[in-house]
Structure 1
Amino acid sequence: MTCRFRSSHLTLAAGCLIGTAAVADTPTLTVYTYDSFVTEWGPGPVIEEEFEKTCGCDLNLVGVGDGAALLARVRLEGERSDADVVLGLDSNLVAAARDTGLFARHGVTADYDLPLTWDDPDFVPYDWGYFAFVHDKDLDAPASLQALADSDLSIVIQDPRSSTPGLGLLMWVKDAYGDDAPAIWEGLADNIVTVTKGWSEAYGLFLEGEADMVLSYTTSPAYHVIAEDDDNKTTAEFDEGHYLQVEVAGKLAASDQPELADQFLDFMVSDAFQSAIPTTNWMYPAVTPEGGLPDGFDGLMVPGKALLIAPDDVPALREDALNEWLTALSR
């Protein structure tokens, strides 16, 4: 609106000043997250609309790459970061994130529906899932990581330095095979068509027919069933088990909107947030929504064995696992 201050329009001028002041007084909460979260088909638009109904604020969702890139971004920015909340770290990154000293304690309590007990004082879970390789149903899929490495099937994976699924695969191989992990990676090296920075690029290449399988989640086929009425996608069940991921958010200690940040963390475990997760982020919600899960989730593969390295043990294993991966792929 343009304000023109003429003597005959004093009332209008005053109204313009009041309106401008109201806009200026609206606080902004900035949340760093991964790129797919803020897309038009991701949770971002729904979450923004629902939170702004109650917060009296402007929710600024900023996509800064994939999940693992979030930690690198806030570590680089330090206390100068524009972010108030970081959403999209996961159970493999919480120890490293805590060690930065940049995150503050939260006071959130919730009746979590997770396959493990969660009592972390700094990070609030909002969804979870199992990593898996997605493929078309007519594919003769391998039944283990070893069988995949021995096959001629082509796969697309994500970079563990920038992507939480990529890091999850690193920990999956390490947890399942221990000292034999380098041999698995040597076998997998010639299956890998490409390594992408994030999940979206990798899944897009798979859908374009560039690979037989893609590293994703056991919940990914639900998207095709619900959004596309296509039941042709499934996931390979591996004998070693499947690695668990819990995605989390945390408040930055240097936030200039600490009360709004706390309000957002509380909102994350509300039904308004959690009910959006299954059909926008295509993961299991951390708190079961009042209406339960959509019908497309009932036919998903449920791993016979869940794998997880304790979050505090990940940093000690990550460097060696990354070097094993890099060595195998450089040959």
Structure 2
Amino acid sequence: MQKSIYLPLVAGFALCASGTVAQTPVLQVMTYDSFVSDWGPGPAIEAAFEETCGCDLQFIGTGDGAALLARLQLEGPRTEADIVLGLDTNLIAAARATGLFAPHGVTADLDLPITWDDPEFLPFDWGYFAFVGNAGAEAPTSLRALADSDIRIVIQDPRSSTPGLGLLMWVKTAYPDSAADLWADLADNIVTVTPGWSEAYGLFLEGEADAVLSYTTSPAYHLIAEEDDSKRAWAFDEGHYMQVEVAAKVAGTDQPELADQFLAFMVSDAFQSIIPTTNWMYPAVIPEAGLPAGFETLITPDLALLLSPEDAAAIRDTALDEWRNALSQ
């Protein structure tokens, strides 16, 4: 008799246990591939957030940054993402136009070179685009000097990559009336155009090009992670275009409170301290321990270039046509 009572109780406990596992909330964050790579910030951020959220944080890798917007536009309200992380200021206007995002409600003391008050898109890091080459090699001092040289470069496709789109904005901002001419002269320098940053940087490291479109912070990776000071970011007289990377909550998420918790966590020291030596960018909030040793060696542009999201959207098609026409010749 006792056995017959005991078995249902055991079964009941088992059902409760399995039910608890099944009810663990899942938060899905759509981002770019390098963010979720083994060497990117994703694994460390996942572990840190799961310590506090009682949830299962899942990253969805989707190519490079600009591919995030394309996928989101394709999926629309059907998207399974709760958070989109990895858009930047050049994509914000188009992302906002989808109507898929909700206000983040986060108040944070951001350490950005610009004032930030966007109610939907919250920064998590920032940096300056730059061409990175090898120490001791020819180092042009401007985009024009690069175009007039025989230096071989690798760049990214602006239709799929935020660095590629950033270069379009850089050229168009620095040379508003002669961008097409500059692209025509740069075309001979371009070895290839890759879908994303990882492919381009890999080709540079393999010696397939003399330089690669990347960031002023890229040499910090080699210096800190590899104890290699052989890479240099070139300082250009026209200034350097900024990138501010952002995240936003999908309005249709079925985990709104968890999404809010993640966005608040994103500007905390636990998240921001991971960024400098994994995403190799400047954190949106300087960590309590400060920036890692080695960041003080990086170049600081004399002139920072940045268009508003609306201005970037307004010139995007023209800039893309100029780029496409020059490379098709």
TM-score by length of 1: 0.97
Q: Which residue of the partner structure matches residue 238 of structure 1?
A: 236
Instruction: Find 2:130's aligned residue among 118, 132, 148.
Output: 132
Alignment of 1:58-73 (within 5 A): 58-73=56-71
Between the aligned partners of 1:79 and 1:105, the Cα distance in structure 2 is: 16
Q: Secondary structure at the match of 1:189?
A: helix
Q: Which residue of the partner structure matches residue 29 of structure 1?
A: 27
Instruction: Write the deviation string for residues 203-239 of structure 1: whole angstroms up to 9, x where unpaired.
Output: 0000000000000000000000110010111111000
Q: Which residue of the partner structure matches residue 204 of structure 1?
A: 202
Between the aligned partners of 1:190 and 1:8, the Cα distance in structure 2 is: 80
Q: Which residue of the partner structure matches residue 290 of structure 1?
A: 288
Name stretches of at least 5 consecutive residues in structure 2 with no aligned partner: none
Q: Secondary structure at the match of 1:178?
A: coil
Between the aligned partners of 1:307 and 1:80, the Cα distance in structure 2 is: 36
Q: Which residue of the partner structure matches residue 249 of structure 2?
A: 251
Instruction: Find 1:83's aligned residue among 76, 81, 87.
Output: 81
Aligned length in residues: 326
TM-fit CA distance, 1:140 = 1.4
Amino acid at match of 1:206: F
Q: Which residue of the partner structure matches residue 38 of structure 1?
A: 36
Between the aligned partners of 1:232 and 1:132, the Cα distance in structure 2 is: 16
Instruction: Write the deviation string for residues 248-298 of structure 1: whole angstroms up to 9, x where unpaired.
Output: 001111111111111111110000000000000000000000000000111
Name stretches of at least 5 consecutive residues in structure 1 with no aligned partner: 1-5
Between the aligned partners of 1:205 and 1:305, the Cα distance in structure 2 is: 29
Amino acid at match of 2:129: F
Instruction: Find 2:325's aligned residue among 291, 316, 327.
Output: 327
Backbone CA RMSD of aligned residues:
1.2
Q: Secondary structure at the match of 1:153?
A: coil
Between the aligned partners of 1:49 and 1:15, the Cα distance in structure 2 is: 29
Alignment of 1:272-291 (within 5 A): 272-291=270-289
Instruction: Find 1:150's aligned residue among 148, 151, 158.
Output: 148
TM-fit CA distance, 1:9 = 5.2
Question: What is the percent sequence identity of the aligned residues?
Answer: 70
Amino acid at match of 1:213: A
Instruction: Find 1:161's aligned residue among 129, 147, 159.
Output: 159
Between the aligned partners of 1:314 and 1:153, the Cα distance in structure 2 is: 28
Amino acid at match of 2:188: D
- Could you list the structure 1 runs, at least 4 aligned residues long, displaced by more than 6 angstroms after superposition: none
TM-fit CA distance, 1:13 = 3.1
Q: Which residue of the partner structure matches residue 121 of structure 1?
A: 119
TM-fit CA distance, 1:8 = 7.2
TM-fit CA distance, 1:17 = 1.5
Instruction: Find 1:101's aligned residue among 94, 99, 102.
Output: 99
TM-fit CA distance, 1:7 = 8.4
Q: Which residue of the partner structure matches residue 301 of structure 1?
A: 299
TM-fit CA distance, 1:309 = 1.1
TM-fit CA distance, 1:186 = 0.3
Work out whether 1:194 is the aligned partner of 2:211: no
Instruction: Find 1:13's aligned residue among 11, 14, 22.
Output: 11
Between the aligned partners of 2:211 and 2:154, the Cα distance in structure 1 is: 7
TM-score by length of 2: 0.97
Amino acid at match of 1:227: A
